[in-house]
Amino acid sequence: MNIYVGSPDVEEGFNITKPISPHECRLRDMTYSAPITVDIEYTRGTQRVIRKNLPIGRLVLKSCIKRGTAVLMTVSPDCRLAEVYDLLQMPIMLRSSNCILTGKSPAELAKLNECPLDPGGYFVVRGSEKVILIQEQLSKNRMIVELDRKGMVSCNVTSSTHERKSRTVVILKKGRHYIKHNSLTEDVPIVVVFKALGLESDQEVVQMVGTEDSLMSQFAPNLEECHRLQIFTQTQALNYIGSKLRQRQRWGGQIKTKVDEARDLLTNTVLTHVPVVNFNFRPKCIYLALMVRRVIEAQGDSFKVDDRDYYGNKRLELAGQLISLLFEDLFKKFNSELKKIADQIIPKPSRAALFDVVKHMRQDKITNGLNTAISTGNWSLKRFKMERAGVTQILSRLSYISALGMMTRISSQFEKTRKVSGPRSLQPSQWGMLCPSDTPEGEACGLVKNLALMTHITTDLDEQPITKVAFNLGVEDVSLLSGEEVSSSEVYTVFLNGNILGVIKNYKKLIQDFRLLRRAGYINEFVSICPNHTHRCVYIASDGGRIMNPHGFPSRMTVGKLMELLAGKAGLLDGQFHYGT
């Protein structure tokens, strides 16, 4: 689907628009925004409405009225388009690709009353210059092993996909391991979950977790508890989990059995980022077994407990991600309201005219939602139950460096009123990434940080080519392995963005070859790979929000030039100028 955003303009009168500059928006207390238009092809009764000689819009939708309901769906760009409709005004970031300042020379910028040195990166909403602060949060789809105040070890994973977000925790309680989830009324024994996922053999469960004597002795009470509950088959385990599910209100639809509800929970909600194809739960079993193994290993070794404040475990959300989430939420509300109106009007037998969907489209819903969120800084998303305040701030113009500092400011989700030193302290992993001194005094000290000027924040990259490269470099696919091979001490587990890709014996060669391919340009420069010897893992990351700083790899020629430069500088300090050899 082709989506186009127009150039910034303002409506001066009825159907009279003119281009507008950011400076004019500041003076007239207006929003610097561009229209997004939609082409709507719809049916009125049995008649198909087609209007000719109208310009192509920028967001292509198709509204079909079928059996008394309105359904919004996308259409391909080559189909016959019917009607162009102005859907919303999207606030435009200054110096972005759709801004009129992009590609202008200093002289042209001066004519538009803009400073050539102004970095852009902010919005003009209702006359005010607003900056969307970078939001810091814990990395998604990663295992984090923690130690609570009582000394109990737990391993939690915050799974996040495009459809849903959930948190799964493996906890240790009275010497036994349980799985904890919001959808369950109480904690479920871990072996019951393994049996529900299809591992009915106790031997296979133990092989997957680990066959070392220390691991087996600590895992044995879990098998005893499962035997005490008289659960031996997958159906019995699914029935047990189905009885522990929270009751949900269901409006219409088919009533599911406990077994079906439990299977749906394990497929779509528990560890939702691990894909399940045709109810093949094996990748999810291996992932869960590794979580249990991490908890058992961390019980006797505090070095195997993860540090939440380590910056490799953090991800940064930029303005684009935040606005896209907000737009998606507002657009779904727009669609649901349109469907509700259609459902109310179409069944009425007394209506004289045919139902026209265009008359009931209100473009101000999405426009006002975006403008209000940016101007107030309150981000409210229904789908993820996200309520955030203070996401935007007014751009500081006290000095040039203060404006730059505003663009690179990072806001943490941690509560500022809590007197905890951990998230506030300076981490060694922040070296070269964050400014060690630019942080406010008072309660926000250490929680509001600033990026170093040379840092780069990554965007999401396609995983498929990286997966192919990893398999070609010798990674054995996890779906082809038995449980004991995965937990073997002779191999390293390879992760890609939190998902287990496979195992490899010679991890050093994998990392060396991967980096060579990256430096040769066959792999994107922002794909990172690093080993973790504590957990015997190799982590490959291509997800967005990672913070990176530039590195140079000198050749023999550059080293020689560097020596000449250093010798030249040394000569200058002596009062004599000469080059080194």
The number of CA neighbours under 13 Å toward the Cβ of 509 is 8
Give per-residue pLDDT as tens, 176-212.
Answer: 999 999 888 899 999 999 999 988 888 889 988 888 8
Task: Provide the pLDDT for residue 581.
Answer: 36
Give per-residue pLDDT as tens, 453-466.
Answer: 889 999 999 999 99
Least-confidence region, from 52-56, 327-331, 413-417: 52-56
Q: Tell me what the mean pLDDT of segment 13-42 comes to.
A: 86
* Amino acid, single-letter form, for residue 15: N
Least-confidence region, from 85-99, 228-242, 468-482, 526-540: 85-99
Task: Provide the pLDDT for residue 106.
Answer: 93
Say whether pLDDT at 479 is over 70. yes
pLDDT classification of 252: cutoffs 50, 70, 90 = low
How much is the mean pLDDT over the chain? 83
**Per-residue b/e over 44-53, b at no fewer than 16 CB within 10 Å?**
eeeeeeeeee
CA distances from 560 to 15, 554, 557, 570, 581 (A): 66, 10, 5, 15, 8
Say whether pLDDT at 43 is over 50. yes
The 8-class DSSP code of residue 254 comes to P
Inter-residue long-range contacts of 92-95, CB under 8 Å, 24+ positions, other chains counted: 92/5, 92/8, 92/32, 92/33, 92/34, 92/123, 93/120, 93/121, 93/122, 93/123, 93/319, 94/22, 94/32, 94/118, 94/120, 94/121, 94/122, 94/123, 94/124, 95/119, 95/120, 95/121
Q: Tell me what the mean pLDDT of segment 280-301 comes to.
A: 90
Q: d(Cα 542, Cα 496) in Å, to the nearest integer?
A: 8
pLDDT classification of 250: cutoffs 50, 70, 90 = low
Say whether pLDDT at 575 is over 50. no
Assess whether the region 152-304 and the region 464-548 belong to the same CATH fold: no
Judged by DSSP in three states, 405 sits in: helix
Task: Provide the pLDDT for residue 253.
Answer: 59
CATH fold for domain 152-304: 3.90.1110
Task: Provide the pLDDT for residue 58.
Answer: 29
Q: d(Cα 322, Cα 317) in Å, to the nearest integer?
A: 7
Q: d(Cα 492, Cα 531) in Å, to the nearest integer?
A: 9
Give per-residue pLDDT as tens, 408-447.
Answer: 999 988 877 778 888 889 989 998 899 998 899 988 898 9
Say whether pLDDT at 247 is over 90. no
Task: Provide the pLDDT for residue 60.
Answer: 28
Say whether pLDDT at 52 is over 60. no
pLDDT classification of 507: cutoffs 50, 70, 90 = very high
The percent of residues in the chain predicted with pLDDT above 90, rounded, is 42
Q: Tell me what the mean pLDDT of segment 518-529 comes to.
A: 91
CA dihedral 405, 407, 409, 412 (to 10 degrees): 170
Closest C-alpha among 189, 497, 143, 167 to residue 304: 143
Give per-residue pLDDT as tens, 119-165.
Answer: 999 999 999 999 999 999 889 999 999 888 787 889 999 998 888 88
Rg (CA), the chain: 29
Give per-residue pLDDT as tens, 63-92.
Answer: 332 222 333 333 333 333 344 455 678 899
Which residues, other chains included, contact 303 with Cβ-Cβ below 8 Å and sequence gap of 6+?
534
CATH fold for domain 464-548: Hypothetical Protein Ta0175; Chain: A, domain 2 (3.90.1070)
Q: Catalogue the E-assigned strands of 260-313.
A: none
* Amino acid, single-letter form, for residue 369: G
Q: Tell me what the mean pLDDT of segment 209-223 comes to.
A: 89
Q: d(Cα 260, Cα 109) in Å, to the nearest integer?
A: 63
Q: d(Cα 249, Cα 325) in Å, to the nearest integer?
A: 26
Bridge partners, 165 (sequence order): 160
Spell out the domain ranges in the chain. Answer: 9-136+318-348+363-392, 152-304, 464-548
Task: Provide the pLDDT for residue 580.
Answer: 35
Task: Provide the pLDDT for residue 132.
Answer: 95
